[in-house]
Amino acid sequence: VTDNVLDFFRRRDPDQPFFLMASYLKPHPPLDPPQYYLDRYISKELTAPYIGTWETRDYIDKEGRIFDSKTGPVDDELIHEMRAAYYALITHLDHQIGRIIQALIEHNLMDNTVIVFTSDHGEELGDHYMFRKSRPYEGSCHIPMMFSNLKAAGIENAEGRTISCVTELRDIMPTLLDIAGARDDSHYDGRSLLDTVKDERLSPREYLHGEHSYGQFSNHWIVTPHDKFIWHSETGREQYFDLSTDPHELEDLISSPRHKARTAQLRSLLIRELEGRSEGFTDGKELIAGRPYPPVTK
């Protein structure tokens, strides 16, 4: 199928840009890699989950294990098997992407192809005793955003560079349209990342507001390239992490006097983002916990 699709595009006008998307389910659960790939990791020493000093096992001990659990295993052997299987799925996926790249080379398309690699969420894999997505922590929301062969878009010296800024999935379409020469900032919510690639001082945004309706774990958060403020809308609990010194969110600094002013600043940004919404999360001055949070709003 891949060869047929690429051959179809090869016969098109070579000056006409086109977009090809390959979407993979894995490494999404169930964590069931082919045995060959699992064998590459199962006997290796792997990084352990990150457990914050702020987290406890109360939820695990109270709720126990359920289908589609929100928590990860606490048994060391199960933790190792989980992470080994996840890494194995990633390597298996890498090899499938390699097949596409090889086909692009064989069809003489690689020199004019820009590749974007990203994901929709992480799985937490036992970080802070958690599993799955939906939480506002790095293991869930800090996903890859990688560009390859930007020289095909006329951008030199981009390969191998790492740029620290806040991006989101909505930036992909504007970026691809910009690459294709069809940029129009009035028609989409995201930002083209080519500006930032060309000049790292041009960050696409100062911060990003994220949210997830998740029962008692429902959350809103403001993240910048350097720190993160979290508000749990069901309980009113707040958290603050200095990502520049604590990228794995091991220490919650919400009660730190030294960070009080910064926390207030990020809280005000969240209030501004939520003001006027139908749920009534804020009156414009304070955050209001316990408001109904339906999956669809009017």
SS3 readout for 56-118: CCHHHHHHCCCCCCCECCCCHHHHHHHHHHHHHHHHHHHHHHHHHHHHHHHCCCHHHCCEEEE
**pLDDT at site 13:** 66
Task: Please tell me whether the overall predicted TM-score, pTM, comes out greater than 0.95 for this model.
Answer: no
Read off the pLDDT band of 188 (50, 70, 90).
confident
**pLDDT at site 7:** 67
Determine the average pLDDT of the residues in 160-175.
93
Q: What is the pLDDT of residues 193-230, one digit of tens each?
A: 999 999 989 999 999 999 999 998 999 999 999 999 99
Q: Is the N-terminal amide bond of 295 cis, ω within 30° of 0?
A: no
